[in-house]
């Protein structure tokens, strides 16, 4: 037990942000405000009793529910590390050293070595770093090892107080959720697109999802999977809007009037046109796809170009340089994988031939589209969308 008065310190979780620190002062403050808002949202959602103290470079969450808080905070975009910590808002160096001297046996066993890692705000104390470390360490009756210590004591001395912690845990990094503009992500229910959504959300973009399905021509499994994926995604983004689009009418039109080897390209072009229309309605600044270069025939460079031609807003592909193994590893880490691999009938399953062209010709695609009624169908289908809020 700590041999100090309880009102001398606050117990909780100290968190640090990374690249936000590189922003201009005005932008950093806005981002940090958004980060604190997100932390509050997720901690309240997790039914944690807490109080937040926001400082330059650091955020301290006062709470007795340490394990639960760490589990939640590790999934909040914008934080690079976090640690169980003690915060001393008003204390002198001697009292802080006495606190450590009285309690180090709770943190460092007799046969363990230790080292003190000090972060000192410039110009705050007269003593230099070495003298401060010596003052703290002199009463710790354990062996010092500066190379490979068994235990590390992290000390931060700042104008707003002292922090003491022992083990850093890696945060998720990135920028705070919703600190950037909105994007529309086409989510299939498979492995790739949810991971792409996560990666773009990690850069601060707010996601809206768009899912194409062929229900009732096929089962509603893909719809149910997307709902499950949405509930996992809510660990990272506070809320989510999803558009569910019935796509079978366009698929039947293409299957009836287009060469088999061009069907996937035509499906994808139609999807992007619908996506662009919805994105504009939602004031999104880009479309997001889960494409990985060369993974399937529709994702060769030539076919990616054909699919995208005519779309006037940016199309982002966060996974373009990833291989399948890397994507699967990320899906498992995020929590999507077990849902994504559940068997489903893809919206194109009934409408795709075995042999798709890996190098389509845009002239031929445009010639085919002249005979199709897709353009007239797009607006009608958008109106048939079912919107769900999560």
**CATH number of the structural domain spanning residue 235:** 3.40.50.620
Q: Within this chain, do residues 230 and 110 fall inside the same structural domain, yes or no?
A: no
Domain end call among 125, 149, 170: 170
Query: Do 166 and 192 lie in a common domain?
Result: no
Would you state the pLDDT for residue 1? 42
pLDDT at 375: 78
Is the pLDDT confidence value at 230 over 70? yes
pLDDT of residue 21: 79
Which of the given ranges, 267-281, 292-306, 373-387, has the highest pLDDT on average? 267-281
**227 plus 248 within the same structural domain:** yes
62 lies in some domain: yes
Residue 216 lies in a domain: yes
Query: pLDDT at position 346, please?
Result: 58
What digits encode the pLDDT tens for the residues 287-346? 999 999 877 767 788 788 888 888 999 999 999 999 999 999 999 999 999 999 988 765
- What percent of the chain is predicted at pLDDT more than 90? 65
Tell me if 285 is assigned to some domain: yes
Confidence band, pLDDT 50/70/90 cuts, at residue 349: low
pLDDT band, residue 263 (cuts 50/70/90): confident
Phi, psi angles (nearest 5°) of residue 182: -85, 150
Clarify whether residues 70 and 106 are in a common domain: yes
On whether both 257 and 232 belong to a single domain, the answer is yes
Residue 4 in this model has a pLDDT that exceeds 60: no
Residue 88 has a pLDDT of 95
**Confidence label for 6 from pLDDT (cuts 50, 70 and 90):** low
pLDDT at 209: 98
- Specify whether 15 is located in the same domain as 162: yes
pLDDT in tens, 72-89: 999 999 999 999 999 999
Whether residue 163 lies inside any domain: the answer is yes
| Structural domain contains residue 124 | yes
Mark which of 144, 170, 196 sits at the end of a domain: 170
Same domain, 142 and 65: yes
1 is a domain residue: no
Q: Assess whether 124 and 201 both reside in one domain.
A: no
- The residue-averaged pLDDT of 36-54 equals 97
Flag whether pLDDT at 369 surpasses 70. yes
Residue 108's pLDDT band, with cuts at 50, 70 and 90, is: very high
For residues 49 and 70, membership in a common domain is answered with yes
**pLDDT per residue over 127-147, tens digit each?**
788 899 999 999 899 999 999
Q: Are residues 164 and 187 in the same domain?
A: no
Evaluate whether residue 176 is within a structural domain: no
Least confident of 19-28, 139-148, 168-177, 269-278: 19-28
State which residues form the domain around 239: 182-389
Binned at pLDDT 50, 70 and 90, residue 355 comes out as: low
Structural domain ending residue among the three candidates 170, 191, 223? 170
Report pLDDT digits (tens) over 176-217.
Answer: 999 999 999 999 989 999 999 999 999 999 999 999 998 877
> Do 338 and 369 have their domain in common?
yes
Q: Is residue 175 part of a domain?
A: no
Model confidence at 280, pLDDT cuts 50, 70, 90, reads very high
**Residue 71 predicted with pLDDT over 90:** yes
298's tokens: 């529709």
Do 212 and 330 fall within a single domain?
yes
Is the per-residue pLDDT at 7 higher than 70?
no
Whether the per-residue pLDDT at 347 is higher than 60: the answer is no
Residue 352 pLDDT exceeds 70: no
Provide the pLDDT for residue 357: 65
Domain containing residue 14: CATH number: 3.30.2130.30
Confidence of residue 3 (pLDDT cuts 50, 70, 90): very low
For the chain, how many structural domains are there in total? 2
Over range 275-294, report the average pLDDT: 95
pLDDT at 96 over 70: yes
């Amino acid at each position: 037990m700590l041999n100090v008065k309880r009102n001398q310190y606050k117990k909780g979780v100290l968190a640090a942000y990374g690249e936000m620190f590189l922003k201009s002062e005005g932008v950093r403050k806005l981002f940090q405000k958004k980060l604190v808002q997100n932390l509050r949202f997720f901690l309240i959602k997790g039914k944690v009793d807490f109080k937040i103290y926001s400082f330059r470079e650091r955020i301290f969450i006062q709470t007795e529910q340490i394990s639960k808080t760490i589990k939640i905070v590790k999934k909040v975009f914008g934080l690079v590390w976090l640690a169980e910590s003690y915060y001393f808002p008003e204390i002198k160096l001697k009292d802080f050293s006495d606190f450590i001297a009285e309690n180090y046996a709770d943190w460092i066993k007799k046969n363990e070595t230790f080292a003190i890692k000090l972060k000192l705000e410039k110009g705050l104390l007269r003593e230099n770093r070495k003298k401060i470390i010596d003052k703290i360490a002199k009463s710790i009756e354990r062996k010092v090892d500066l190379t490979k210590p068994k235990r590390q004591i992290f000390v931060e001395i700042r104008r707003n107080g002292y922090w003491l912690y022992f083990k850093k845990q890696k945060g998720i990094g990135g920028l705070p959720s919703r600190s950037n503009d909105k994007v529309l992500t086409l989510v299939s229910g498979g492995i790739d697109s949810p991971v792409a959504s996560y990666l773009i959300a990690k850069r601060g973009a707010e996601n809206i999802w768009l899912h194409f399905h062929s229900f009732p021509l096929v089962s509603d499994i893909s719809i149910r999977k997307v709902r499950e994926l949405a509930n996992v995604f809510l660990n990272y983004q506070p809320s989510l809007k999803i558009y569910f689009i019935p796509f079978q009418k366009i698929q039947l039109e293409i299957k009836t009037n287009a060469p088999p080897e061009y069907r996937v390209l035509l499906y994808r072009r139609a999807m992007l046109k619908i996506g662009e229309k919805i994105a504009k309605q939602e004031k999104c600044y880009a479309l997001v796809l889960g494409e990985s270069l060369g993974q399937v025939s529709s994702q060769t460079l030539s076919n990616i170009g054909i699919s995208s031609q005519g779309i006037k807003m940016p199309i982002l592909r966060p996974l373009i340089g990833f291989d399948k193994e890397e994507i699967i590893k990320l899906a498992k880490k995020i929590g999507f994988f077990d849902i994504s691999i559940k068997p489903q009938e893809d919206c194109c399953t009934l409408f795709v031939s075995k042999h798709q062209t890996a190098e389509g010709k845009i002239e031929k695609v445009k010639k085919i589209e002249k005979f199709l009624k897709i353009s007239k169908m797009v607006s009608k289908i958008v109106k048939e969308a079912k919107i769900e809020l999560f």
